[in-house]
Amino acid sequence: MNPFWQTSRFQINLAKPQVMGIVNATPDSFSDGGVYFSSRSTSSVLAYCEQLIKQGADILDIGGESTRPGAKALPLDEELARVLPVVRHAVQLGVPVSVDTYKPEVMQAVLDLGADIINDIWALRKPGAVQAVAGHARCGVCLMHMHREPLTMQMAPMDGDVVQQVRDFLQLAAQGLQGLGVDHARIVLDVGVGFGKTVAQNLSLLQRQSEVLNLGFPMLAGWSRKSSLGILCADALDEAGDLAPLPVAERMLPSLAAALLAVERGARVVRVHDVRETVQALKVWTAASI
């Protein structure tokens, strides 16, 4: 496995677990409901980028379209309007900048502004996406597995051995990109926790994470505040007397546990909302691992 992740401007050292801080430039994120975004001004998002870096984020991941279960696709012009001002500012902050998008037009626009990484939930399956990444000399890319698409992915989750299916999908996606001349060192994989999988299936991907790592690519783990954690940690009853999932705002501790388990089992990047707490937890893990 490569000891670094090659991106547009940075060789990211993967000997140290990297904390990717999530920046939602969207009013309908499942995790913060647009707390840091206003349709009238992006100043709060820009300030949030700086805040995450002060908290210890190694990478910023900027997204303008919600991909929560049931989310509808966002028009191209609206995503560009949300994302470009944030990227234009973020590339001046001295850390790698990732953009969470599946639209090739957005990919090209942010790469032209100096973004370092394309983080694509569709694993470059949209027409023109592979070409946008393969045509760039050095940008990093994260290929994620998703079953179906955000609007319908949880209506009919995957069947069968999900670990093998996810592994095979990611292997083909990475090989296809390499076949177009993209260097191995530019590619990171993400199993897509919560994207068309049940709680048990998500857990199996963590339990058998090594099977995906055996492909030889670094792994990004995205467990932060996911609904599976809310279900696993349900501790209150709803009006019908059933266990109600832990609210999103109360999922920090289970998110930290999942992030540490993922790193312990070989993930090199963790994509998180709670940057300061994750950085602190990883400091303890690192000290105990020496």
Catalytic residues: 226, 271
Query: Residue 4: what are its φ and ψ, rounded to 5°?
Result: -145, 165
Please report which helix (H) or strand (E) contains residue 77, including its range: helix 76-90
Angle between helices 76-90 and 104-112 (to 10 degrees): 20
**In the block, residue with structure tokens 């609007």:** 151
Closest CA to 108 of 124, 92, 89: 124
First-to-last C-alpha distance (Å) of the chain:
20
Structure tokens at 136: 């760039």
The helix (run of H) or strand (run of E) holding residue 199 is: helix 199-207
Q: SS3 helix, strand, coil % of the chain, rounded to 5?
A: 40, 15, 45
User: Which of 121, 119, 14 shows the shortest CA–CA distance to 61?
Assistant: 119
Which residue type, as a one-letter code, is found at position 70? G
Provide Rg for the chain, Cα atoms: 18
| Sequence-distant (≥ 6) Cβ neighbours of residue 129 within 8 angstroms | 102, 103, 104, 107, 120, 122
Per the document, the length of the chain is 290
Q: How far is CA 89 from CA 46, 168, 190, 256, in A?
A: 7, 38, 27, 29
Nearest-angstrom CA–CA distance, 169 and 259? 23
